[in-house]
Amino acid sequence: MRREILSRFIGLMKEFRERFGGGEIGFATAPARINIIGEHIDYVEYFKTAVLPFASDRHIMILAFRPRDDDLVRAETLAPGYPPGSFSIGEFRPPDDPDPGRRWMSYLAELGVPPPSWINYIKASAFYLQNLHPEENLRGIDLLVDSTIPPAGGASSSSALVVASGIGMRVANGMEIE
């Protein structure tokens, strides 16, 4: 198992350099999340004790990333059927509210439901980090994703993407992982 994971890291590093050029590369990982019982009820207050989730050691997402000198985020994946995408962190224009929670919820209410795209999960992570640090001009990243977590398979591949891209954004901007 370890040899297979190491091989994936090396392959991802080579592919990242082919797509984005040479230089230092960071890595972030996030596991699949499996619910033994209680699928999609763990966020309901009175059901919180009726769930049994665990992190899988068989399925993980690996994200290779590199900081940029601007606020552009460019994302690609090794998975077929998911086109590359990009966005600027400067697109995030939250309402003027000193409370980050209210500011974020107001932004989401104004935004509405965006068109479906895997890039939205990365965008949510980057925009939320900007929401928490409105005084910062966050740097963007180039990133490449490799995952064995089955998409739309109930193993939280979207959550893994949010977590891994959030780690990449924090590291690229010199922030601690909380």
Domain residue ranges in the chain? 2-172
Helix, strand, or coil (residue 88): strand
Confirm if 141 and 73 have CB atoms less than 8 A apart.
yes
97-103: long-range contacts, CB 8 A cutoff, minimum separation 24: 100/131, 100/132, 103/131, 103/134
DSSP state of 159: H
Q: In percent, how much of the chain has pLDDT > 70?
A: 88
Q: Which residue has the tokens 């990982």?
A: 29
Amino acid at residue number 110: E
pLDDT in tens, 69-80: 999 999 999 999
According to DSSP, the β-strands at 72-77 and 26-35 are unpaired
Residue 149: predicted pLDDT: 80
Q: How far is CA 120 from CA 24, 123, 160, in A?
A: 26, 5, 13
**CATH 3.30.230.10 applies to domain 2-172:** yes
Confirm if 21 and 156 have CB atoms less than 8 A apart.
no
pLDDT band per the 50, 70, 90 thresholds, residue 44 = low
